[in-house]
């Protein structure tokens, strides 16, 4: 089997694993697992709506085609044929004390022989709770350092820069790790990187379960729900204005429903919304900065 087909096959298996594991965390529902085919390729979009996780999607896709001028420009490469496969996840919890989570691993090849892996995981708490922010980053630190010393620091900083809403001067949440365009020439390093993306994806359900098990039973008020919907509005802004996967997908004529399944179930906008200086909402906003050491 060609390397790229093998990556796709293994990612598909991991998608199954992730869905199975998440069904053990929120037993109120099961994933709807929908296989699709399009002009560009194929995929499986698994969606979930339960009592703990309000709206979740675990996407797998394997597509190929010709880059449009816009997509090639966005990637900084010459127009060429491409192959891309990956898993992409967004989960919006019902309880405002629980965080939104996103994870993505992807492999990309150009017709000219160029290739790279990319990926990331980041957490967007509606309310930042230091203890659980720390647990999240600790899990990533262990994963990264196990792969390569210094990889956490490098990709944590990249996440701070990437998951940032320039027009709001806010990070999306507490970040996580982000890496893109890593394409080692050395065959061994390439395989190790592939292994790392698999480990990251397989670690996802446990990492999110730790957050949900601690926080999804916490009581909440209407005010907490209002805040959640405002923060979901920011999530929409990030995904439509900045998210590279979303932009690349829409630009290359990807399957819109699978791309925009990352949108929250509902989002609100209030002109010049203000929060009290001694509120938890204010505290969360004050922590949406780059360069915070969450460990």
Cα distance between residue 225 and residue 150, in whole Å: 38
Q: Which of 50, 93, 173, 264 binds its own copies (CB under 8 A)?
A: 264
Q: Quick check: is 102 catalytic?
A: yes
What DSSP designation does 183 have?
-
- The answer to whether 103 and 201 have CB atoms below 8 angstroms apart is yes
- Looking at residues 98 to 127 of the shown chain, list those that interact with its own copies (rule: CB under 8 A): none
Binding of residue 167 to its own copies (CB under 8 A): yes
Minimum CB distance to its own copies, residue 251 (Å): 9
> For residue 122, which of 59, 207, 49, 61 has the smallest C-alpha distance?
207
Identify which range of 23-31, 175-183, 190-198, 257-265 contacts its own copies by CB under 8 A. 257-265
Binding of residue 266 to its own copies (CB under 8 A): yes
- One symbol per residue from 26 to 45: x for binding its own copies (CB under 8 A), - otherwise; what is it? -------------------x
Identify which range of 1-9, 113-121, 193-201, 249-257 contacts its own copies by CB under 8 A. 249-257
Cα distance between residue 154 and residue 144, in whole Å: 10
Minimum CB distance to its own copies, residue 50 (Å): 14
Binding of residue 256 to its own copies (CB under 8 A): yes
- The answer to whether 274 and 113 have CB atoms below 8 angstroms apart is no
Q: Give the containing element (helix H, strand E) for 139.
A: helix 130-147
- The answer to whether 103 and 121 have CB atoms below 8 angstroms apart is yes
Minimum CB distance to its own copies, residue 154 (Å): 26
* 3-class secondary-structure state, position 116: strand
- Looking at residues 267 to 286 of the shown chain, list those that interact with its own copies (rule: CB under 8 A): 267-272
- The answer to whether 269 and 156 have CB atoms below 8 angstroms apart is no
47 vs 155, beta carbon nearer its own copies: 47
Give every CB contact of residue 155 below 8 A, 6+ residues apart in sequence.
120, 144, 177, 178, 179
Total residues interacting with its own copies, rule: CB under 8 A: 30
Cα distance between residue 190 and residue 110, in whole Å: 16
Binding of residue 229 to its own copies (CB under 8 A): yes
Phi, psi of 110 (to 5 degrees): -105, 160
Q: CA torsion 152→153→154→159, rounded to 10°?
A: 80
Q: Which of 257, 286, 290, 291 binds its own copies (CB under 8 A)?
A: 257
- One symbol per residue from 43 to 72: x for binding its own copies (CB under 8 A), - otherwise; what is it? --x-x-------x-x---------------
Q: Which residues are catalytic?
A: 102
Binding site for its own copies (CB under 8 A): 45, 47, 55, 57, 166-168, 229, 233, 236-237, 240-241, 250, 253, 256-257, 259-261, 263-272
């Amino acid at each position: 089997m060609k390397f790229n087909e093998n990556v796709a096959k293994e990612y598909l298996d991991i998608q199954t694993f992730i869905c199975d594991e998440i069904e053990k965390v929120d037993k109120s529902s099961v994933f709807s697992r929908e296989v699709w085919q399009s002009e560009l390729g194929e995929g499986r979009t698994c969606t979930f709506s339960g009592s703990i996780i309000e709206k979740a999607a675990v996407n797998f896709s394997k597509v190929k085609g010709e880059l449009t001028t816009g997509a090639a420009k966005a990637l900084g490469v010459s127009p060429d044929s491409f192959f891309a496969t990956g898993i992409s996840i967004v989960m919006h919890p019902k309880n405002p004390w629980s965080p939104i989570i996103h994870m993505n691993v992807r492999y990309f090849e150009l017709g000219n022989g160029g290739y790279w892996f990319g990926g990331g995981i980041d957490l967007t708490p509606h309310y930042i709770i230091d203890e659980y922010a720390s647990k999240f980053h600790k899990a990533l630190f262990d994963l990264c350092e196990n792969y390569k010393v210094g990889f956490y620091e490098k990709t944590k900083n990249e996440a701070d820069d990437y998951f940032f809403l320039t027009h709001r001067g806010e990070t999306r949440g507490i970040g996580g790790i982000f890496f893109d365009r890593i394409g080692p020439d050395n065959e061994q390093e390439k395989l190790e990187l592939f292994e790392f993306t698999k480990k990251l994806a397989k670690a996802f359900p446990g990492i999110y379960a730790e957050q949900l098990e601690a926080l999804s039973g916490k009581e909440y008020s209407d005010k907490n729900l209002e805040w959640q919907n405002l923060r979901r509005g920011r999530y929409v802004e990030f995904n439509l204005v900045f998210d590279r996967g979303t932009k690349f997908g829409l630009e290359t004529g990807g399957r819109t429903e699978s791309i925009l399944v990352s949108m929250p179930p509902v989002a609100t906008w209030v002109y010049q919304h203000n929060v009290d200086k001694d509120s938890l909402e204010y505290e969360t906003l004050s922590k949406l900065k780059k360069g915070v050491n969450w460990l």
